[in-house]
Amino acid sequence: MTTNPRVALITGASQGIGAGLVAGYRKLGWAVVANSRTIGDGDDPMVLAVSGDVGQHGVGKRIVDAAVDRFGRLDTVVNNAGIFIAKPFADYTDEDYAAITGVNLRGFFEVSRAAAAQMLEQGTGGHLVTISTTLVEHANSAVPSALASLTKGGLNAATRALAIEYATRGIRSNAVSLGIIRTPMHDPSEYDALAALHPVGRVGEVADVVDAVLYLETAPFVTGEILHVDGGQNAGH
């Protein structure tokens, strides 16, 4: 089995934070498996595009298998794919619930389970990173989003549980908890208002998230951490 380069699998990789993470890991010299519902091959032979909805049964393992088939190993997974729908709790529909839990929970579960099994088989350790939200700890009446808290709060707990379960076997587990980040998810006209949600008075940039994930990647003594990248939102307002 080859030992170089190291390989990262990134979900939700076609735009925004995911695309930034692909570029960030490539700058480290890693090979990358880039997944989203629809994603095409690019010019870089060290980036393998694998399309598929991680909210669907079996897709997670298929992506992990593709990584191993192409590059011979898997070292890191960044669970970046997610669905966020803000609306009053009583207005959520069964379709909202199925969509949000499908991607946020099943996607995390199936990708991470298959990845952990591969990392254990390799015996060289690994890293699970999950993108979360500060709304888990600091609900905001201006952004009602109970289903985000339901799913991402569970992922924060799972992040810590996996960190302890695998601590002696070299697999680390961390999360990055975000405020509002400037991505295609938001209309540009909203950013002035959204900036007010953060004590620092601005929204975050994709580069802020990439820097945080790559810090965790290069911090071997850090596991079980929920790293807040939220302009101070977690500390108060």
CA distance 228 to 205: 14
Q: Is residue 189 part of a domain?
A: no
pLDDT in tens, 35-78: 999 998 889 999 999 999 999 999 999 999 999 999 999 999 99
Q: Is residue 113 part of a domain?
A: yes
pLDDT of residue 185: 78
CA distance 99 to 62: 20
pLDDT of residue 216: 98
Distances (CA, A) of 192 to 43, 127, 140, 202: 36, 35, 17, 8
Q: Which of 81-85, 131-135, 136-140 has the lowest mean pLDDT?
A: 136-140
% of the chain exceeding 70 in pLDDT? 99
Q: Is residue 30 part of a domain?
A: yes
pLDDT in tens, 204-218: 999 999 999 999 999
pTM of the model: 0.94
Three-class secondary structure of residue 58 per DSSP = coil
Query: With 50 as the cut, is the pLDDT of residue 193 above it?
Result: yes
Can you give the CATH number for the domain in which 153 is found?
3.40.50.720
CA distance 65 to 63: 5
Stretch 13-39: mean pLDDT, rounded?
96
Q: Is residue 71 part of a domain?
A: yes
Q: Locate tokens 């890693």: which residue?
A: 30
Q: Is residue 2 part of a domain?
A: no
Q: Which domain holds residue 74?
A: 7-180+207-229
**Does 227 or 194 have the greater pLDDT score?**
227
Supply the Cα-derived Rg of the chain in whole angstroms.
17
**Phi, psi of 154, rounded to the nearest 5 degrees:** -65, -40
**Phi, psi of 21, rounded to the nearest 5 degrees:** -70, -40
Stretch 227-235: mean pLDDT, rounded?
95
Domains held by the chain: number = 1
Closest CA to 10 of 1, 2, 26: 26
% of the chain exceeding 90 in pLDDT? 86
Query: With 70 as the cut, is the pLDDT of residue 2 above it?
Result: no
pLDDT of residue 62: 98
Query: With 90 as the cut, is the pLDDT of residue 187 above it?
Result: no
Stretch 102-123: mean pLDDT, rounded?
98
Query: With 70 as the cut, is the pLDDT of residue 101 above it?
Result: yes
Q: Is residue 51 part of a domain?
A: yes
pLDDT of residue 78: 98
Q: Is residue 185 part of a domain?
A: no
Distances (CA, A) of 157 to 59, 71, 110: 23, 31, 17
